[in-house]
Amino acid sequence: MPAPAATTATPKGRAYGILAEFDTPAEIMRAAEVVRDAGFRRWDVFSPFPIHGMDEAMGLKNSKVGYISFTGGVLGYTTGMLMIWWMNAVDYPIIVGGKPMFSPFGAFPPSYELTILLGSFGALLGMLFLNRLPRLHHPLLKNKRFAFATHDKFYVVIETTDPKYSETETRKLLESAGSRHVEWVEE
Amino acid sequence: MAHAATTIPVHPAPAVLTREPLVANSRSIAWISDAIAGVAEGKTPVWWWAAFVPAVILLVTCFSLIAYLISAGTGVWGLSHPVMWGWAIINFVWWIGIGHAGTLISAILFLLRQKWRTGVNRAAEAMTIFAVMCAGIYPLIHVGRVWLGWWLFPIPLSQGIWPQFRSPLMWDVFAVSTYFTVSVLFWYMGLIPDLAVMRDRAKSIPRKFLYGLFALGWTGSNRHWSNYEKAYLILAGLSTPLVLSVHSIVSLDFAVAQLPGWHTTIFPPYFVAGAVFSGFGMVLTLLVPLRSVLNLKDLITERHIDLMCKVTLATGTIVGYAYAMEFFIAWYSGNPYERFTFINRALGPYGWGYAWMISCNVIVPQFFWIRWFRRNVVVVWILSIFVNIGMWFERFVIVMTLHRDFLPSSWGFYAPTWVDIMTYIGTFGLFFTMFLLFMRFLPIIAIAEVKAITPYADPHHPLGGAKSGGHR
């Protein structure tokens, strides 16, 4: 671990935020609670895997992906039923085996599959939309140290745009939360 | 003290029963990244080329024979009255059934909170996608006039007619294409955090660029994980009814027909159980050698193999029950055609196929009652191959029901031609080409998911940094 003194220099460019590194999930969780209780808003926790209980530690609300997926599912089912009814009973009806032109039972399997299809697209695309992804550039991805966020380290990043942000106090807060490595992240 | 008689007997504290860990040798989370990503990094091993070249040759064979079939017509296959559905439908059902284990592992075991799934889900999902690709070839080429295959989709035609949605073959089009699409979405979503791992480890510019592009800018943000986990749960919840519906609809291709031996209500559950059974057979066939070759024995442990053998045993036994019940109903129904069909299946000209089916699907999995068989990887591998063979014969037996229908004057016999046989062998070329490319370039085990099930990832475990009494 490099000496903290080496990282106190202010960044050359505009600062994106301040980054604090932690070694274990329990440490980052304690730190997240400290940052949450200090009332920060524009901040985040980065980890190589989802940490159970972190949403509460950060004070996050339940994800909204479910609503988007549900809308997709409803759209899929309605599309399937209306499409089959219109095609086989309205636009070009043909008698097949004495069966009714439209029956909800015969139309159910394709509509059911379309429910799942559009519901799944809703889940994946909804997740990407809520996360504002794909994003091919991010200040953190330029940071050498941050590459360990997908390996085995844990980070708290507080953005400089946060109303409670202060160049000296925020750093002290993160150090007191137990981080042995705090550094600036350039924009 | 004279009150010895009133002493309350104190039982010794029970020995702590520890579960066999899912990641052996207490490997750290850094080790997990290095071991899994390492498979897709570095110099290509010689054995990979030794497997890849034959696979590509078979792939070329497959597509050459499809070209031959399209140019010459379906007469090059062994199809002839009364068996107008031959190896094409057998192979279609066989391949698509294999895919079902991947979805079972990734979706149903996720909903059931089976943590061991993380060791095998990525490879099993890849297997699903490639198996569905192999399956998907057959419905297209077996229609004969392949260039009209797009008529299967509800696309406006100049003649103004629409697909006929009262037919289970149309349901199949929707089921299979949805299954393929959703399997790819689920697999890709699981890959996003792992592609970010590959991006952050990459040394060369092209690797950084390509992994970076497909990782979509993933940073591991907890605000992102929160939405990601919810979306993953929803996809698992949607894939579960999907996988059950796909093979049910495949079975309706048969069961909706008014044919003795096919027109039965047991088909959907029996097909789903058989599909999962055959899929686990294929997962074992693939992963038992791979865990040795790729040095991943700490991540795909004997416990994983053991558990997969148990699922194979359970589903194989359900299949055995279905065979028995089918026979019983044929007798109990009092329908002479139904009875004849079943006796003819077991003792008729294709009785040898029936014998293969029963031995491989009902008898072979019974070995897995015994722990020694489940823990002996060589034995597991051999038995898993018999499962694959047995499930092929199950579909063979079902399709060969066609050879003797109501009128003896229309009875016939069916044999495949060399084109049938080589096209089927060629689909293995497609499967293995895709699988080998997958393991060369993508993480073969879900890195982030395996990390999350280790004690190092648990903020309430001492190894995760917890002080006594939780993370505080």
Q: Determine the average pLDDT of the residues in B410-419.
A: 92
Please give the Cα distance from A49 to A136 (Å, whole number): 21
- pLDDT given at position B471: 54
pLDDT tops 60 at residue B166: yes
Architecture of the A15-59+139-186 domain: 2-Layer Sandwich (3.30)
61-120 of B, contacting A, C-beta below 8 A = none
2-31 of B, contacting A, C-beta below 8 A = 28-30
A12 touches chain B (CB under 8 A): no
Which residues in A lie closer than 8 A to residue B188 (C-beta atoms)? 124
Q: Determine the average pLDDT of the residues in B95-113.
A: 90
Q: Determine the average pLDDT of the residues in B93-109.
A: 90
147-166 of A, contacting B, C-beta below 8 A = 147-152
CA distances from A134 to A10, B65, B468 (A): 30, 41, 41
SS3 B371: helix
- pLDDT given at position A3: 38
B228 touches chain A (CB under 8 A): yes
- pLDDT given at position A87: 94
Rounded to 10 degrees, what is the CA torsion of B152, B155, B161, B162? 60
Q: Determine the average pLDDT of the residues in A141-157.
A: 91
Closest CA to B183 of B125, B258, B244, B114: B125
Percent of chain B with pLDDT over 70: 97
Please give the Cα distance from A122 to B74 (Å, whole number): 41
pLDDT tops 80 at residue B10: no
Q: Determine the average pLDDT of the residues in B163-175.
A: 92
31-60 of B, contacting A, C-beta below 8 A = 33
pLDDT tops 50 at residue A157: yes
Q: Determine the average pLDDT of the residues in B306-315.
A: 95
The C-alpha of A181 sits at a distance from chain B's nearest C-alpha, in angstroms, of 17
Higher local confidence (pLDDT), B466 or A122: A122
Residue B460: how many CB atoms within 10 A of its CB? 17
- pLDDT given at position B5: 57
Higher local confidence (pLDDT), B15 or A80: A80
Q: Determine the average pLDDT of the residues in A16-43.
A: 92
Amino acid symbol at A179: S
Q: Determine the average pLDDT of the residues in B205-223.
A: 94
Backbone angles phi, psi at A186, to 5 degrees: -75, 150
What is the DSSP-derived secondary structure letter of residue B296?
Answer: -
pLDDT per residue over B375-400, tens digit each?
999 999 999 999 999 999 999 999 99
State both tokens at A7.
Answer: 């990282």
pLDDT per residue over B252-293, tens digit each?
999 998 888 899 999 999 999 999 999 999 999 999 999 999
- Continuous segment of H or E residues that includes residue A22: strand A15-22
- Chain-chain contact of A109 with B212 (C-beta, under 8 angstroms): no
Q: Report the Cα A4 to chain-centroid distance in Å.
A: 31
pLDDT tops 80 at residue B90: yes
The ipTM value here is 0.92
B242 touches chain A (CB under 8 A): yes
> What value does the CA radius of gyration of chain A take, rounded to a whole number of Å?
25
Phi-psi region of B454 (alpha: psi -120 to 50; beta: other; left: phi over 0): beta
Percent of chain B with pLDDT over 90: 74
Contact B397, B90 (CB under 8 A): no
pLDDT tops 50 at residue A4: no
Closest CA to B184 of B102, B263, B264, B117: B102
- pLDDT given at position B4: 53
Mean pLDDT taken over chain B: 91
Contact B87, B65 (CB under 8 A): no
Find the farthest-apart pair of alpha carbons in chain A and give their distance in angstroms, rounded.
85
- pLDDT given at position B8: 72
Substitution target from A150, A152, A157 for chain B, most B beta carbons within 10 A: A150
- pLDDT given at position B87: 92
- Chain-chain contact of A53 with B459 (C-beta, under 8 angstroms): yes
- pLDDT given at position A137: 86
Closest CA to B309 of B359, B357, B376: B376
Backbone angles phi, psi at B221, to 5 degrees: -65, 140
Q: Among B33, B230, B231, whose Cβ lies nearest the Cβ of A151?
A: B33
Q: For chain A, what are the domain ranges?
A: 15-59+139-186, 65-130
Q: Which residue of A has its CA nearest to B454?
A: A49
Confidence of residue A1 (pLDDT cuts 50, 70, 90): very low
pLDDT tops 90 at residue B182: yes
Helices of type H across B142-266: 168-201, 205-214, 222-255
Closest CA to A64 of B167, B234, B395, B156: B234
pLDDT tops 80 at residue B77: yes
Owner of token pair 């299809």: A117
Exposure pattern of B270-282 as b/e (b: 16+ CB <10 Å)?
A: bbbbbbbbbbbbb
Q: What's the pTM value of the predicted model, to 2 decimals?
A: 0.91
Closest CA to B220 of A120, A19, A61: A19
Please give the Cα distance from A94 to A104 (Å, whole number): 17
